[in-house]
Structure 1
């Protein structure tokens, strides 16, 4: 394994000039064997298994690979496959601005829980009926791609959005959570702020101030909706970024501490050990 975790750009995978790729899984895997190694990428990636076994890792969380399973990755997430035997299904990749010119709300995709960049919401096991519906939508996208003209790109986007809505309805029905609530909107805004400022801002009261609410209210909503405190969400994002940087073996622990705005190496190591349950050096060794 190389010392540097590869991060693949959309151009590395020979996407169309329109900024997307749809493929059956098996030929995609044969073309891109490098993706079997730990990697990240700068685009959205969706994998749908109709027949498969083994495991995969998303942002250091392990999942079984199962038939009738779909997973969603957002730009920047860590990923690794460990398949056992033949893999059948479909892949959809698209760049970050593929839907922005089509949708009035630029961040619309984030309204789907599986596009929030949280690994625990990224993998969804589907009933056969929903799985069959998704397979039909992937086949429709493949057909559009084979005969693609510029005017058909919007048609392709519509079919992809239908896929997202189909999965979104299943997730909402299964969880019993209505997506359009004041609390969920607040959590979404809070997570966006964390993503933007987690390296420099660590206190819930500072985020609460930016959201024009009290820190007590922010904590109460986080606990009610997510079962976590606001401070936990912030710390978890710092730990996740720490892990992403630690698997890049070219960076020293001191450089990582500096990148994440810790005062010194010792404070970073203490923080990481407390919340990740392992020393930074030992975590790194587990990947090399």
Structure 2
């Protein structure tokens, strides 16, 4: 374990992978270039502002935002005012939110939420709790006592649950503000349609037909509200499911591809690599393998 300039790192010695890392930063040098990691990242912006580039979209961010990125999710921060903050990074071998979804409920809310920006606003009520948890993690990283991993995971769970609750509350508020408008109903129908059919319907026109709306109108609404094209949303949803299958099961890639509507395994592998920047096999090799029953 290293302790240099407010950086605390645990390494999975047998594999040499990053297990858990906690670090405070006072500039943007860590994030001013494209990031794609085989671990989860939480970045709390305490000061400053800028532009977040993630997946197919750009978002403004400012102090008080907690940014959340899943495995191999691309992101990059462009600072407009000098940024400072703290980051937590953890490999799924250390703690996997996919296997512990019932406990922390952050998959699809905090992480891998293709319909909302990849951040949550930290309010003053929860700021103190989250800061306390960070200090407890820091103290535990300095303590090589018995059950260190278990204690760190407990603190991490509380951190994830707290931020996931915050994001859920903020999504509910946005829904209440929009529920009287016609477009949000179409958006909800689109989300429901993608969730129901992404394994078999891969084109934007398929969803326009399902919703009985012109492809042009649906594209405009989707871009306005999600800052993404329909094709982007479909691709992201397929990749999330593929990643889940690659990690949680030992199914052959050909079987996973077929279940997601791709009869040609090699076409699917190219599609996956285009969107995840790694091949399905390399993803499985670097993220690890953790069956749901494990």
User: Normalized against structure 2, the TM-score is what?
Assistant: 0.53
Bigger mean CA deviation after superposition, 232-241 or 116-125 = 232-241
Report the number of matched residues: 202
Distance in 2 of aligned mates of 1:191 and 1:158: 32
Structural mapping, 1:1-288, within 5 Å: 15-18=9-12, 19-26=19-26, 33=29, 35-100=31-96, 110-111=106-107, 113-118=109-114, 120-149=116-145, 151-176=147-172, 194=198, 202=202, 236-238=233-235, 259-260=270-271
- Show the counterpart of 2:242: none
Mark the runs of 5 or more structure 2 residues left unpaired by the alignment.
1-6, 13-18, 174-187, 205-209, 212-220, 223-228, 240-265, 273-294
Bigger mean CA deviation after superposition, 110-119 or 127-136 = 110-119
Any idea what the Cα deviations from partners look like across 1:51-72, whole Å, max 9, x if unmatched? Answer: 1222221213222231111010
Distance in 1 of aligned mates of 2:43 and 2:166: 17
Aligned residues of 1:141 and 1:156 also touching (Cα < 8 A): yes
Q: What is the CA-CA distance between 1:144 and the residue it aligns to?
A: 1.3
Mark the runs of 5 or more structure 1 residues left unpaired by the alignment.
1-12, 178-183, 205-215, 218-226, 243-254, 262-288
- Show the counterpart of 2:253: none
Any idea what the Cα deviations from partners look like across 1:9-37, whole Å, max 9, x if unmatched? Answer: xxxx99422401011122xx57xx36311
Secondary structure of the residue aligned to 2:10 is coil
Secondary structure of the residue aligned to 1:17 is strand
Aligned residues of 1:52 and 1:86 also touching (Cα < 8 A): yes
Any idea what the Cα deviations from partners look like across 1:93-143, whole Å, max 9, x if unmatched? Answer: 001222249966699655450112527241112222222322222222112
Distance in 2 of aligned mates of 1:100 and 1:240: 19
Q: What is the CA-CA distance between 1:160 and the residue it aligns to?
A: 1.0
More helix by share: 1
